A and B are shown apart, each in its own frame.
Chain A
Amino acid sequence: MEAKADENKYSIIIPTYNERLNIALIVYLIFKHLPNVNFEIIVVDDGSPDGTQDIVKQLQEVYGEDRILLRPRAKKLGLGTAYVHGLKHATGNFVVIMDADLSHHPKYLPSFIKKQMETGSSIVTGTRYVKGGGVHGWNLMRKLTSRGANVLAQTFLWPGVSDLTGSFRLYKKSVLEDIISSCVSKGYVFQMEMIVRASRKGYHIEEVPITFVDRVYGSSKLGGSEIVEYLKGLLYLLVTT
């Protein structure tokens, strides 16, 4: 088991846009919580005007350019293509994708890795809706829409996972490459499409509990247009998967 662990390398892809402070904090926390793991951090910055890339360069001086890779793009081009872009530069046999805004805490990374090793699964996805998981900083409306969306998806899609729109996940690199090419959705429907397509293809998916802290209370608003987008995404997945 130990010898096998040494062979694994984890590429952590973090898309950023104006995350100057958060990217520094998250890099520190990743190094703190993965002391004996072979990993690299790939920051895909979409031309942030706030100097996110300058901070990443400073972090490279502290931690090494081989551990933190800056792979910027000229402008905002969307989340899905950010992962594709990061994936091109990934040298690990596993890929972790997570948000830069600290709603995904790096302290859960060891449990993702451990779960993958124990089960040999192709994907480990973080779930907020089981024991040990949870959310902080959502108002009642946000919770209501979240529950409604979840019940709809569970009733009609039978996805086999409890948290469809979460985006804190560990993939075998080959599996991510396989499913990402067939995903066309945008925003968080993209996260749902990834996991549903993986589930339909028969990949072994495991879940670990994570907590999700919205640091700016009520910042994640779900407006009418998002709900329409979600319903369209649900319909799209019903007829294409």
Chain B
Amino acid sequence: MKHIVKIMALLVALSAVWISLLQTSVLPKSQTWLLPLYFIVSLGCYGLLMVGVGLMHFPTCPHEAILLQQDVVEAKEFLKGKGVDVGTD
């Protein structure tokens, strides 16, 4: 099944629940009408929250840059000794 079909099925199921809520009026009608809007807004909030949390905990590795610099120096020395043209910079 294509992924878009799964998402569509999920949306159809949610709409079915919504319509049955409208029919049975468990909640006040004015509230029920707004449920899809709440859903979209909360999905947006979830997205923004995830991006924000991800940014705050973005894993960085400044020490790796230093280690790599050391590896580069070591590699250049070895390769120069073997006659590989690695330049002089």
Contacts and interface: CB of A to CB of B under 8 A. Distances in A.
B61 interface: yes
**Contact residues of B: prevailing secondary structure:** helix
A5 interface: no
**Contact residues of A: prevailing secondary structure:** helix
A135 interface: yes
A213 B64 contact: yes
B65 A24 contact: no
Interface residues on B, range: 20 to 34
Interface in B36-89: 43, 46-47, 50-51, 54-55, 58-62, 64-65, 68, 71-72, 75-76, 78-79, 82-87
A201 to B, nearest CB: 13
Nearest to B52: A147
B47 A25 contact: no
Given A21-B87, A29-B75, A213 B68 contact: yes
Contacts of B72: 25, 102
B26 interface: no
Contact of B85 (A58, A135, A238): A58
A61 B79 CA distance: 11
A130 B68 CA distance: 20
A59 B84 contact: yes
Nearest to B63: A136
B2 A134 contact: no
A125 B21 CA distance: 45
Contact of B71 (A29, A54, A61, A131): A29
Contacts of B61: 133-136, 211, 213
A241 B20 CA distance: 32
B7 interface: yes
Interface string A125-165: 00011110111110010011001101110111110000000
A150 B59 CA distance: 14
Contacts of B84: 24, 55, 58-59, 62
Contact of B55 (A59, A136, A143, A152): A143
Contacts of B51: 144, 147-148, 151
Contact of A238 (B7, B59, B60, B78): B7
Contacts of A28: 75, 78-79
Given A128-B59, A129-B59, A147-B54, 11 more contacts: A21-B87, A25-B72, A55-B85, A105-B64, A147-B51, A147-B58, A213-B61, A237-B3, A239-B2, A240-B2, A241-B2
